[in-house]
Structure 1
Amino acid sequence: MQAIIDWLVGLMEAIGAPGVGLAILAENIFPPIPSEVVLPLAGFTVAQGSLNPVAVFVWSLIGSVGGAYLLYGLGAWLGAKRLRAIAEWMWLVKGTDVDNALSWFDRHGKISVFFGRLVPGVRSLISIPAGLDRMNLVAFGLWTTLGSAIWNAILIALGYFLGDNWHIVSDYVDRYSKVVYLVLALVIVGFLAFFIRRALKERAGNADTTK
C-alpha cells in the first residue's frame, strides 16, 4: 500500500490534478489501486493548498467515466454471442442463462450502473454487463457520472476534513467492503445451488426418458 501512496504522491506532484484523474482511470481497470486511498489522499492534498478542489473533483470524474467506458468497450467487444458460447462450454451454466441475465439488465441496467458505482469491488465491474447489453452510451455515461460524482465527492471531502488522518477512510471502506463481499459470496452460493439443482433435475429427467 505504501508503494501505491508514494506513486500517487509523485504523480500529483508531477502533474497536479490530472494525476488524480489518471490514478482513478487506472483504479477502474486495475482494482489493486483503491479509490478509497486515491481520493482521500487527494482531498488531504487539497487541504494542504497544493491542489485546487474543483480541478481535483473534475479530473477524478473524468478518470472514473473514462475507465468505465473502457470496461464498457470490453463488454461490448466480448458480446452476448461469445458469452453464450462460453456459457454453453461451462459446467452447469447455459446460454439461456446469459439471455436471462441480459434481459434483467435491460430492465434494471440504469439503476444498477448508478448504485454499482457506489459499491467497492463492483464499481468497475458493473460497466462490463452494461457493455454486453449494449446499454445506450449516453444513458450509461449519465448514470456512471452521477454515481461516480457522489462517491468521489464523499471520499475527497473526507480526506479534506480528516487532514493527517485521511488514511482511516480506507479502514472504514474496507469494513464496508467486507460486508459487500459477504453478500456477493452468498449470492454466488445461491446461484451455484440453483444451477446444481437444475443440472440434477435434468439428469434425472434424462434418465427417466431412457428407461
Structure 2
Amino acid sequence: MTTLIALQAAAADSSGDSLISRFADWSVHLMEVIGAPGAALAIALENLFPPLPSEVILPLAGFAASRGSFSLFEALLWTTIGSIVGAYALYWVGRALGRERTRAIFGWLPLVDLNDVDKVEAWFDRNGSKAVFFGRMIPIFRSLISIPAGITKMNQAKFLGLTAAGSLIWNSIFVLSGYYLGENWKVVEDYADVFQKIVIVVVLALLVLWLVLKIRKARAKKAGMQGTDSAQ
C-alpha cells in the first residue's frame, strides 16, 4: 500500500494535463495490481496512441521497481515487450493499408506529387533499417515509423529485431532514470519534454518549407503554361 501511495503521488505530480494524469494513474494501478505486465500494457497503448507519454510511464515503471513492486529486469523486459507489441500492431496497419492505397490517399491530397511519394518509398527501401532502429528513439516517430515499415512489407523478423533493439535503448534510459532518481524522476520528464518540443518545431519547420517550395513550383508551372498559351 505504501508503494501504491508513492506511485500515485508521483503520477499526480507528473503533469497538470488531466488526460495524461488519468492515464498515469491508470498505469500505476495496473503496475500495482498485475506487476510489470501492467507497464507493458501501458507502453503498448502509448505506442498505438502517440499523445500518451512514454516519458511518464517508463520512469514510473523504474520508480515502481525501485520500490520493490517488481525487479528492474522485469521493468526493462516488460516495457520492451509492450513497445514491440504496440509497434507490431501499427506495422500491420501499414501492411493492411498497402502501397496502392497509400498512393491513392496521397494522390488525392493537394500539392502532393506521386513522384515524391515514390522517392520517399525508394528512400525507405534503402534506409528502412536505420529508420526503424533510430526512429524508435525519437518522440512521435517512435510509433509512426512502424507504418511505412508495414507498407513496404519489411521482413517481419528484421522489423521486430530492430524495434526491440531501439525500444530497449529508449526504454532503458527512462526506466533506469526512474529507478535511480526515485522521487526526483520528474527531472527526466522535463528534459524529454524539451526534446519532444524541439522535434515538433523541426517537423513543423520542414512542413512549412515543403509547402512553400510546392506552392512556388505550382506557380512557376502555371506561369510557364500561361506563357506558352500567350506565345501561341
Please state how far the C-alpha of 1:87 moved relative to its aligned partner: 1.9
Per the alignment, in what secondary structure is the counterpart of residue 210 of structure 1? Answer: helix
1:153 correspondence with 2:172: yes
Q: How far apart in 2 are the matches of 1:135 and 1:197?
A: 35
Q: How far apart in 2 are the matches of 1:186 and 1:95?
A: 22
Q: Deviations over 1:34-64 (max 9, x none)?
A: 1111110010111111111111211111110
In the alignment, is the contact (CA less than 8 A) between 1:80 and 1:98 conserved in 2?
no
What TM-score comes out, normalization by structure 1 length? 0.95
Please state how far the C-alpha of 1:197 moved relative to its aligned partner: 2.1
One-letter amino acid of the structure 2 residue matched with residue 22 of structure 1:
L
One-letter amino acid of the structure 1 residue matched with residue 53 of structure 2:
P
Q: Tell me what 1:66 maps to.
A: 85
1:93 correspondence with 2:112: yes
Q: Mark the structure with the bigger radius of gyration.
A: 2
Q: How far apart in 1 are the matches of 2:33 and 2:142?
A: 27
One-letter amino acid of the structure 1 residue matched with residue 75 of structure 2:
V
Match of 2:212 among 184, 190, 193: 193
Q: Tell me what 1:53 maps to.
A: 72
What TM-score comes out, normalization by structure 2 length? 0.87
Please state how far the C-alpha of 1:206 moved relative to its aligned partner: 2.6
Aligned Cα root-mean-square deviation (Å): 1.3
Match of 1:115 among 114, 121, 134: 134
Per the alignment, in what secondary structure is the counterpart of residue 123 of structure 1? Answer: helix
One-letter amino acid of the structure 2 residue matched with residue 180 of structure 1:
V
Q: Which runs of 5+ in 1 are unaligned?
A: none
Q: How far apart in 1 are the matches of 2:99 and 2:228?
A: 32
1:35 correspondence with 2:25: no
Q: How far apart in 2 are the matches of 1:88 and 1:50?
A: 51
Q: Deviations over 1:154-191 (max 9, x none)?
A: 10000001101122221110011111111111111121
In the alignment, is the contact (CA less than 8 A) between 1:43 and 1:155 conserved in 2?
yes
The alignment-based identity, stated in percent, is 49
Q: Tell me what 2:16 maps to.
A: none
Q: Which runs of 5+ in 2 are unaligned?
A: 1-19
| Aligned length in residues | 211
